[in-house]
């Protein structure tokens, strides 16, 4: 396990994103880390020390002048008896305290006394984030050598407001922790990868389009997993509602033709993983104006034309990446169809999954796949899409010819 034996002092400050810290603790522990949580007073209004303690499996530190805690472990030692300090969520208030060296509660005291790497995951209202005062503090903290992940673009939980301010997702924070604590585990350093993700939208007229149920979760997770192993990743994404992965160059497109263009312009790369659910057809008869219903008229005919096959183009390209991976969304004969696609599209691997509605895979958060390659078929158990992504990234790293 990547974080085996690593001790993380986790500071949870008071914002609605605190609920994500519970998942974060679980994810860190899954990877072998020991998490020692510290909660500010405000954070205890959002989640309880009881749940934090239950998930971390140990004591939760809450008070600066607690005789019990001081006897157990003095507050200066608490700040140093760890491999890193992680503040998630880090509120505007906590960041302001850090930037100005205040130490008027346990969290700010720890951050001032710590002599270990510090990573913070800011989370706040977008207006608070963009306020010049916060931005000044961000600059100061960066100059002080504090690492930062996020905030992300998105809808705020409490106000529905959109903008930068959402805390990075727990798995992205874990990837940033791993990059800080286990920088050696980066077998894809120096490699380039291109990933497609999400659906495409094929316009019928200026207001209507043909689409599919792809959410982009699997493709985005793969881009993130390749990045976590050190690759320089370009993600070409169709229209999705999930956040861009951290540390990945994301290009947003709508149609299959735009996606093909963005992909071929990004070549050469070492790795290509084509996950997007590209629409097989586009509407041939372009309509510049909205199609109107005519009284008593028949429904308009839709004439379709075949879209370019992006995976096939990449698989047979003059600058073909060393490892080309495709997905096969099937509802029957998964293996036979997967094998045929492997050959037809010039791929090294087809990740085949059953997308029958009963599986809930399309748009869901879990996946069950078969890996079909020249070596045979590998059947993976049902996993989260993040786990599929991490395993696949490791598979690709192992498959890649050695450099130099």
Candidate residues 310, 323, 334, 349; the one interacting with ligand CTP per rule CB under 6 A:
310
Answer yes or no whether residue 280 interacts with ligand CTP by CB under 6 A: yes
Answer yes or no whether residue 283 interacts with ligand CTP by CB under 6 A: no
Active-site choice (137, 212, 307, 353):
212
Distance CA 287, CA 381 (A): 46
Answer yes or no whether residue 236 interacts with ligand CTP by CB under 6 A: no
Nearest to 246 by CA among 192, 169, 180: 169
Answer yes or no whether residue 212 interacts with ligand CTP by CB under 6 A: no
CB of 325 to ligand CTP, least distance (A): 8
18 by DSSP, 3-state: which?
helix
The answer to whether 276 and 255 have CB atoms below 8 angstroms apart is: no
Helices 170-181, 217-228: crossing angle, 10 deg rounding: 10
Answer yes or no whether residue 326 interacts with ligand CTP by CB under 6 A: yes
Residues 246 to 275 in contact with ligand CTP, rule: CB under 6 A: 256, 274-275
Answer yes or no whether residue 238 interacts with ligand CTP by CB under 6 A: no
Cα within 13 Å of Cα(207), Cβ side: 4
CA 26 to chain centre: 17
Residue nearest ligand CTP by beta-carbon distance = 310
CB of 356 to ligand CTP, least distance (A): 13
Write phi, then psi, for 284 (nearest 5 degrees): -70, -35
Nearest to 150 by CA among 171, 133, 181: 171
Tokens of 265: 């312009």
* Residue 37 vs 198, nearer CB to ligand CTP: 198
212 is catalytic: yes
Candidate residues 106, 328, 362, 390; the one interacting with ligand CTP per rule CB under 6 A:
328
Measure the CA angle with vertex 377, ends 372 and 383; round to 5°: 85
CB of 326 to ligand CTP, least distance (A): 3
Answer yes or no whether residue 193 interacts with ligand CTP by CB under 6 A: no
150's CB contacts (< 8 A; 6+ apart) are 121, 122, 123, 166, 167, 168, 172, 246
Binding mask 107-136 for ligand CTP (x = CB under 6 A): ------------------------------
| Torsion angle (degrees, nearest 10) of CA 162, 164, 165, 170 | 100
Candidate residues 60, 141, 156, 276; the one interacting with ligand CTP per rule CB under 6 A:
276
CB of 277 to ligand CTP, least distance (A): 7
Nearest to 19 by CA among 46, 51, 41, 44: 46
Answer yes or no whether residue 171 interacts with ligand CTP by CB under 6 A: no
CB of 163 to ligand CTP, least distance (A): 31
Write phi, then psi, for 316 (nearest 5 degrees): -115, 15
Answer yes or no whether residue 311 interacts with ligand CTP by CB under 6 A: yes
Answer yes or no whether residue 278 interacts with ligand CTP by CB under 6 A: yes
Stretch that binds ligand CTP, among 51-59, 63-71, 96-104, 326-334 (CB under 6 A): 326-334
CB of 343 to ligand CTP, least distance (A): 12
Nearest to 131 by CA among 165, 180, 80, 173: 165
* Binding residues for ligand CTP (CB under 6 A): 196, 256, 274-276, 278, 280, 307, 309-311, 326-329, 341
Active-site residues, by number, are 212
């Amino acid at each position: 396990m990547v974080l085996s034996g690593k001790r993380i002092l986790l500071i949870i400050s008071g914002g609605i994103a605190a609920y994500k810290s519970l998942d974060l603790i679980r994810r860190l522990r899954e990877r072998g880390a020991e998490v020692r949580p510290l909660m500010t007073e405000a954070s205890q209004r959002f989640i309880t020390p009881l749940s934090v303690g239950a998930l971390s499996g140990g004591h939760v530190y809450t008070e600066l002048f607690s005789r019990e805690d001081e006897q157990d472990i003095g507050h200066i030692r608490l700040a140093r008896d760890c491999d890193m300090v992680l503040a998630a969520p880090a509120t505007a208030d906590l960041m302001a305290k850090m930037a100005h060296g205040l130490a008027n509660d346990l969290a700010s005291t720890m951050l001032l006394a710590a002599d270990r790497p510090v990573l913070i995951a800011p989370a706040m209202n977008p207006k608070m984030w963009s306020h010049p005062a916060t931005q000044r503090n961000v600059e100061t903290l960066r100059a002080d050598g504090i690492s930062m992940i996020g905030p992300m673009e998105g809808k705020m939980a409490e106000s529905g407001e959109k903008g930068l301010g959402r805390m990075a997702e727990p798995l992205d924070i874990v990837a940033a922790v791993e990059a800080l604590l286990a920088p050696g585990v980066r077998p894809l350093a120096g490699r380039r990868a291109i990933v497609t993700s999400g659906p495409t939208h094929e316009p019928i007229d200026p207001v209507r389009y043909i689409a599919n149920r792809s959410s982009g979760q699997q493709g985005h997770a793969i881009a993130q997993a390749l990045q976590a192993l050190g690759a320089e990743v370009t993600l070409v994404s169709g229209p999705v509602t999930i956040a861009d992965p951290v540390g990945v160059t994301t290009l947003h497109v709508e149609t299959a033709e735009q996606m093909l263009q963005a992909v071929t312009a990004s070549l050469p790369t070492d790795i290509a993983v084509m996950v997007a659910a590209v629409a097989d057809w586009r509407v041939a008869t372009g309509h510049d104006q909205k199609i109107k219903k005519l009284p008593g008229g028949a429904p308009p005919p839709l004439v379709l034309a075949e879209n370019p096959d992006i995976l096939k183009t990449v698989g047979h390209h003059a600058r073909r990446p060393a490892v080309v991976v495709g997905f096969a969304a099937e509802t029957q004969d998964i293996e036979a169809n997967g094998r045929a696609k492997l050959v037809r599209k010039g791929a090294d691997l087809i990740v085949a999954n059953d997308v029958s509605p009963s599986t809930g895979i399309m748009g869901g958060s879990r996946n069950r796949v078969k890996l079909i390659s020249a070596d045979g078929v590998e059947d993976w158990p049902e996993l989260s899409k993040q786990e599929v992504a991490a395993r696949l990234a490791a598979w690709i790293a192992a498959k890649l010819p050695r450099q130099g």
